[in-house]
Amino acid sequence: MNLRNVAIIAHVDHGKTTLVDKLLAQSGAVRDNQRVAERALDSNELERERGITILAKATSVVWNDTRINIVDTPGHADFGGEVERILNMVDGAIILVDASEGPMPQTKFVLGKALKVGLRPIVAINKIDRPDERHQEVLNEIFDLFVSLDATEEQLDFPVVYGSGRAGWMAEEPSGMDESRGLQPLFDLILSHVPEPRTGSVDEPFRMIGTILEANPFLGRIITGRIQSGKLRSNQSVKVLSRDGDLIENGRISKILAFRGLERQPIDYAEAGDIVAIAGLAKGTVADTFCDPQVTEPLHAQPIDPPTVTMTFRVNDSPLAGTEGDKVTSRVIRDRLLKEAEGNVALKVEETEEKDSFYVSGRGELQLAVLIETMRREGYEVAVSRPRVVFREGENGERLEPIEEVVIDVDEEHSGVVVQKMSERKAEMVELRPSGGGRQRLVFYAPTRGLIGYQSELLTDTRGTAVMNRLFHDYQPYKGDLMGRTNGVLIANEAGESVAYAMFNLEDRGPMLIDPGVKVYAGMIIGIHTRDNDLEVNVLKGKKLTNVRAAGKDEAVRLTPPIRMTLERALAWVEDDELVEVTPKSMRLRKIYLDTHERKRFEKTRQAG
């Protein structure tokens, strides 16, 4: 059967996974009466909750006797490492662009990578049925983007389709909506424009690069990749080579799985060009070469952009450690982090000298927050520090820091406060233009450390109307010190359960972060101080009871509801001497040093140093 391998790449929320749903339905891969969840490929629990794709997934459909392998990719910049690897596995790409928003930072990132590996993308302008669509301006912006990314003449001659992924139709003209044809124009374009897999001959030895890694409770490690040359049969002997050519292991393929619609079916035989998943090997991982025993040279794996943000994961040593989770020791935390780093090439894990803490580096705080949330649901307890940026040393010994391109779409009335806040964070504005509907698009180059925690502040400043997108741009000389948090914190001075009466009397000191009846311990952060210094308070003090009866009944204590911190907000809000304690049931903020005297000693040494 003829083969086509294609990836769908776009910015977050531009409709990739929804389009894949319709491609599956219209190609007959899903029965008419089959119950399929919306965004069927977002199978992960966190993906469904957040409405974003985190892990790349493969599926396949048959159209006009041609099997089309489709890879759905994440649209969030923090998970860009997934997209970079996927592009080595396909021969074509569909760039999906929102007809109103136009090309966004992640569109630029993935398109640049696609052009670099020589793909000739198909442009699909999606959501054309939106009332604020502006397809002609968006098409011009896409063309300018291709030019700015040094596309070849062949790549600049890209085909365009217009349509609505949710409604399930595409057409060659913006006004050519024909629901009876559905997605046929897009299918036909894939067959005519995407070349057959560029691979070695079927007669050469078997070779394949691992692209997606997952763990299966029954089959063990499953590696997905495209066969570059040769044939693969069940029970065949293979060896695994690292990127440097070192032998990792010898083994046998216990199962070959092919993608058929939403299912993965076992097959006995696959050949060059096929995208398959293989099981049976214990050590082979992403970017390794799986090959015939006679092969000596590994295949070239595309280099991956480096991580820009790092956090410290520590063993939870609070007085409440081990009461809510069952995986608390440094050994199990270390094994879990190393396992995650194996499958996620954009993540880097290093051990510290203390042995009970680890440095975990990634692309952004969202990627690290997703990892923490996943571990928490698996029963792990960890204490994590505030994210810090990864600095580098320049040629002249100067300190370099990561700079991000930030695109903020905001109503005109709020643009002033956004510009002011961004300039306080050492950001440099490079573009300001209208983006339709009374909104403006502001583009900045800003230091990554200035953006940590800015998302929630931006939404407060703009009454929830602003949309911010970020993308790593470059390493540039250090921009100078930034102003940190202006408020101190309220710290519990004893262990016990918080009492409503005590919290009511503390309300004029600042807003609370906890409810009454919650377990607290000395050194735990229970509120935000209205001043800039930290204050130790007693939240356990109950009302003194007397035998005097008053004529009026005592008023019930009415507390102001506490501030609810999300994990991402808590990570960005804490200071360098504080930690976020994450367990399967709760999230607490605390000082690194729980003892008052230790905290004072630490503060003195910091001021002296």
Q: Per the annotation, does 326 bind a ligand?
A: no
- Find out whether 402 and 475 touch, Cβ atoms under 8 Å: yes
Q: Per the annotation, does 140 bind a ligand?
A: no
Closest CA relative to residue 202, chosen from 270, 283, 156, 304: 270
- Find out whether 525 and 497 touch, Cβ atoms under 8 Å: no
Closest CA relative to residue 49, chosen from 306, 279, 369: 369
Report which secondary-structure segment, H or E, holds 391: none
- Find out whether 473 and 518 touch, Cβ atoms under 8 Å: no
Instruction: Report how far residue 270's alpha carbon sits from residue 322's, in angstroms, rounded to the nearest whole number.
Output: 48
Report which secondary-structure segment, H or E, holds 74: none
Instruction: Report how far residue 352's alpha carbon sits from residue 443's, in angstroms, rounded to the nearest whole number.
Output: 38
Q: Per the annotation, does 18 bind a ligand?
A: yes
Give residues with Cβ within 8 angstroms of 409, minimum separation 6: 101, 435, 439, 440, 441, 466, 467
Q: Per the annotation, does 16 bind a ligand?
A: yes
Buried b / exposed e across 342-353, counting CB within 10 Å, b at 16+? bbbbbbebeeee
Query: Distances from the Cα of 440 to the Cαs of 11, 270, 408, 415, 453, in angstroms?
Result: 19, 52, 8, 7, 22
Instruction: Report how far residue 583's alpha carbon sits from residue 537's, in angstroms, rounded to the nearest whole number.
Output: 25
Closest CA relative to residue 234, chosen from 200, 209, 265, 196: 265
Q: Per the annotation, does 128 bind a ligand?
A: yes
Q: Per the annotation, does 108 bind a ligand?
A: no
Q: Is the Cα dihedral 439, 443, 444, 450 positive or negative?
A: positive
Q: Per the annotation, does 126 bind a ligand?
A: yes
Give residues with Cβ within 8 angstroms of 529, minimum separation 6: 487, 488, 489, 490, 509, 510, 535
Q: Per the annotation, does 473 bind a ligand?
A: no
Q: What is the DSSP letter of 102?
A: -
Other Cβ atoms within 10 Å of 147 Cβ, number: 10
Query: Distances from the Cα of 212 to the Cαs of 24, 51, 305, 343, 607, in angstroms?
Result: 21, 21, 17, 7, 48
In angstroms and rounded to an integer, the radius of gyration of the C-alpha atoms of the chain is 27
Residues of the binding site for GTP: 13-18, 126-129
Residues of the binding site: 13-18, 126-129
